[in-house]
Structure 1
Amino acid sequence: MLNEMWWVLMLVLNFVAILFAYRVWGKLGLFIWIPISVIVANIQVTKNVNLFGLEATLGNIVYSTSFLATDILSEMYGPKDSKKAVTIGFFSVIVMTIMMQLAIQFNPAPSDFVQESMETIFGFMPRIAFGSIIAYVISNFHDIWAFELWKKLKPGKKTLWMRNCFSTMVSQLLDSLIFTFIAFFGVYEMSVWWQIVLTTYLLKFIVAVCDTPFMYIARKWFDNNKICEG
């Protein structure tokens, strides 16, 4: 159960980090979190672990928290700012991928000891980044659209959980299917690939449910003018 303990700890730390960034820097803090989440997720996803008896990739938690950030932006500031956050994440993944591809082209010095590890992680990055970019853009824009739809159908603070969960859960399903197909189909045996598909969505589903209380905290801070907007 050690992996599961670390997973829960990582989950809590991610949510706390988002709320801290939002409380201290307001909307800017959420814009800052987006590139952090997508870059860290694209690195962590190269590592496979066993969670709850199934094989899974890391990166699911931190990536899923980007949906909480865009939902907070949609709820408090509107879809325009959410879409801006998505484009920032899109830009950050592209730049990171290009920069690291250039970095591994340099001939290492005799004293270097990280080249092989960098090639292992970032040599596979273009395929991961491509899958991540396609899945990220489609799923996040769907999330923004769905959030606004539920906001119109079920307005008010009491139904905040509904638009937060329902929009994210469907968007996470789209993201999981698109990303795992592009990034990992043919890389692993089919039995492992299906486990990754299942666990990727299952873990993201759990994150979507768990982030609801933090959404309400953000809403309460905003209503009580406790957010520093730079």
Structure 2
Amino acid sequence: MDTRFAWGAPVRGTAPTNYVVRVTSNSPGFVYDQVQNVPTTNATFKFPRSPSAPGSGNATEASTPYYTTYTVRVIPMNGDVAGDPLYWTYKYEHWKLNNCYDERGQGNGLGTVGNTALTCPVPALTTAGGYSTLTLAWQPAPAAVSYRVTVISNGRATLYGLDTATPDIQTALRFPKASGAYGQYTVRVQPMNASGAGDPAYMTYQLGEYSHECWKTGSESL
């Protein structure tokens, strides 16, 4: 049976060039792990289906391990730059075919790269030559070969930030020691390899003249 999954395009940022869609069975009794790379906001996956019994319409097979739940992950891509993934739980049944449950904020890191976690609190600031240097660090993801690191000022006309890729599990960002640099920033780190992207990790960072701190609200996004 063909099942078509569809989603909306992002409402912020650059328009995606393609989407990586992965569907994986949540049951150890049935192995299903399929990936598609599509240019549109929908993808169709094929699932096994039992014949229907005459009269009742019930499945004729006694054992139907493919009637189970699946995790659906959609991640927008702009070339090799990945956005934030969307997750659903899809419950596949013989009778009911439209059973999708939004797992927003509850993604389980489905993918081939693995996930990371930002280290917070951050190390002490070092100051020299009119600059304050922030060192950011994160946990290694199991299959990552690089990390996309983005730091953006929150709601400020004067922007200081960073957008880079690094093979290391830390990087440094220099701020001018001036009032225009003080304020809150969103920090995002996403593990990458040639096959795709893991889920990004976020935190909020606040820089002051004589101090800095970080925290996680769970609602950060870029």
TM-score, with structure 1 as normaliser: 0.25
Highest CA radius of gyration, 1 or 2? 2
Instruction: Flag the structure with more relative contact order, 1 or 2, with Cα contacts below 8 A and sequence separation at least 6.
Output: 1
Greater share of residues in strand: 2
Greater share of residues in helix: 1
